[in-house]
Chains A and B, each alone.
Chain A
Amino acid sequence: MEILSGLANGFAVALDPVNLFWCFVGVFLGTVVGILPGLGPPATIAMLLPLTFHMQPAGAIIMLAGIYYGAKYGGSTTSILMNVPGESASVVTCLDGYQMARKGRAGAALGIAAIASFIAGTVGVLGLMLVAPPISRLALSFSSPEYFGLMSLGLALVVLLAGRSIVKALLAALVGLWIASVGTDLFSSTSRFTFGRLELLSGIDFIVVAIGVFALGEVLANMETQEETQLIPVPKGLRNLLPTLQDLKDCRFAFLNGSVLGFLVGALPGGGSTIASFLSYGLEKAVSRRRDQFGTGVIEGVAAPEGANNSETGGALVPLLTLGIPGSGTTAILLAALVLWGFKPGPLFIPENPALFWGLVASMYIGNVMLLILNLPLVPLFAQVLRMPAYVLYPLILGVSMIGVYSVSGSLFDLALLLVFGLLGYLMRKLDYPAAPLILGLALGAGMERALRQSLMMSEGSLAILVSRPISAAMLSLAVVVLLIPFVGRFNAWRVRAIEQE
């Protein structure tokens, strides 16, 4: 009953013409970003975040979330037509999607990708709606030690699944913690790591790091070559984009598999949509009667991963909104957005901001319908985005990135910092250091330090408080187990396989 009334209020918020407009802008931009290889949702959300400061928070979060899940719809278009994933979550769609396109079934592949995304995306939102409120109530009993344990576990999971080398992933997370420490310590007013610069006393803005590492890093990496990829023509007319009844029948289990697995993996910090799509593809292949044909253009091989990467969004928002723990780079940026707008994601977020939470949930139902409409009849139009020359696109991304940073503080010093973090992002890509742990370390750093110090103040300096309380003890033990997984041969082989697929 509580859920139904919340949802009714949510639809009242989401159907407000202004919010409806921002929802459309978000899913539209998301689709474009998803289609464009080399520009991902974290970079786009980071670039646009400063521009949302003048917006109503409901409209702003609806738009940014629209970019997040809209990109997953768009990503499949590039995978199917070019054999190049528009974003990392669509890597696995290349396997069967491109083969279908080569066999003249691009329309059916694009159609089933949109339908699977719609079904699983809607199931993911349903999961978010049903699971988030009870988790939020459970988390109300959490205190500083539990939060420290939870954040440590979240960071450990992201480190585990972020890169081939656990040492590099851990180092990236530690650099994130260090960047989070720059500035004035709020407990003691001590200036830390400011190098004598007044500009650093208030710390390094999250936006500067996020835009630098994601947007600039991506552009610099893409500037290394001038390669052009061949685009397979998109069939015109809605009829040519609709899968046959047999196709839909073949995809029955894929829809279910993608929906459930995607949500569960999404709710796990560090899981992410790429892992979700690969697991879903693997499961589909394992149970299929024609598993030997996977990779040659099997329609379930498109439906399962596309469903999973969309359902994952709903799951990923559960720990973010109820515990304040982001599980990926993109959700870390969404966390920063909520904090910048004056909200505190965590157990009190839903009770204190019901209109915002339920408005977001309702907007995701509406956004999924918008995306289905955009991605079925209009996909040939969106595919034209791929014809935009790189020499037009990349300078524009650089310009918007600089404006995004400058608009936050009006400081040229922040633009100089942007250059530093852009170079860092590029070098991290070159040297195989994952960016997600750094961004997560930065997003969680201040909270982790605060939780640890408050815990030790509660216990008068005794670290035993972290292991004497059952929930924090369980979380920290799990975090240790998670970090030990790479040292267990069999588990590590699975971990590396999952990451290498990315």
Chain B
Amino acid sequence: MEEETRKAGDLWSGVVLLALGAYIVFEASRWEYLGADGPGAGFFPTWYGIAMVGLAILLIASHVRQRPSVEKRIAWPRVGRALAVWLALAASVALAKPLGFLLSFALLTFFIVAAMYRRPVKVAASVALAGAAGIYLAFPLALGVSLPVGVFGF
């Protein structure tokens, strides 16, 4: 299944990288390529952009050529778990300003322990509180690192 995911991903990642390469070449074409003082800002990006386009086409072509007969499936439950954590992390970053870093981190920890690892709420709350306290003791207090402070003053 992992192999099938990878093969399906080759096509899509190839398309994304082809678009990125084209974007790089397009952007670089607006900057000076070669001037009186030597190569301009567009010189280097033009070449690696072209290389990216070429390699992406090669990747897509090799995918199309070696198309496997089996239907490609992605292990969505596994990917879903990872993406759920990523979304929780994104929410935590978004909440860092209004709620403060410590509280948003505690909420993130609570979510991971309770929802992703299916531990009891008491355990999740304890880990979240202990984690936030540990972070506070180690970074703002001991190392003097300043973290975003929210409406509650911490």
A interface list, Cβ under 8 A from B: 51, 54, 165, 167-168, 170-171, 174-175, 177-178, 181, 185, 187-188, 190, 192-193, 216, 219-221, 223-226, 389-392, 394-396, 398-400, 402-403, 406-407, 410, 412, 415-416, 418-419, 422-423, 426-427, 430-433, 448-449, 452-454, 456-457, 460-461
Given contacts A171-B56, A178-B52, 19 further A-B contacts (CB under 8 A): A54-B143, A167-B55, A192-B41, A220-B85, A220-B86, A226-B116, A226-B117, A395-B127, A395-B131, A398-B105, A402-B92, A407-B139, A412-B93, A416-B93, A419-B90, A422-B86, A431-B9, A452-B39, A457-B37
Residues of A within 8 A of B68 (CB): none
- Residue pairs across A and B with CB atoms within 8 Å: the count is 174
Chain B nearest Cβ from A355, distance in angstroms: 25
Is the beta-carbon distance between B135 and A430 smaller than 8 angstroms? no
Residues of B bordering A, CB below 8 Å: 5-6, 9-10, 13, 17, 20-21, 24, 27, 31-32, 34, 37-41, 43-45, 48-49, 51-52, 55-56, 58-59, 62, 75, 78-79, 81-82, 85-86, 89-90, 92-93, 96-97, 101, 105, 108-109, 112-113, 116-117, 119, 127-128, 131, 134-135, 139, 143-148
**A430 to nearest B CB, angstroms?**
7
| 9 pairs of residues in contact across A and B, judged by CB atoms under 8 Å | A223-B112, A226-B117, A391-B127, A392-B127, A395-B128, A412-B96, A423-B86, A454-B38, A461-B38
Distance between Cα atoms of A474 and B51 in the complex (Å)? 22
The residue among B52, B58, B119 with the most chain A CB atoms within 10 A of its own CB is B52
Complex contact A403–B147 (CB within 8 A): yes
Which of A395, A415, A456 interacts with B113 by CB under 8 Å? A395
Main secondary structure of the interface of A (DSSP, over half): helix
Cβ–Cβ < 8 Å partners of B17 in chain A: 171, 175
- Nearest residue (CB) in A for B2 is A430
Partner of A174, one of B37, B51, B117, B147: B51
Structural contact, A391 and B41, CB atoms closer than 8 A: no
A178: contacting residue among B41, B48, B78, B97, CB under 8 A: B48
User: Which 9 pairs, one residue from A and one from B, show the smallest C-beta to C-beta distance?
Assistant: A457-B38, A190-B41, A431-B9, A395-B109, A391-B117, A224-B78, A185-B41, A449-B44, A220-B82
- Asked whether B145 lies within 8 Å of A430 as measured between CB atoms, the reply is no
Q: How many Å from the CB of A272 to the closest CB on chain B?
A: 22
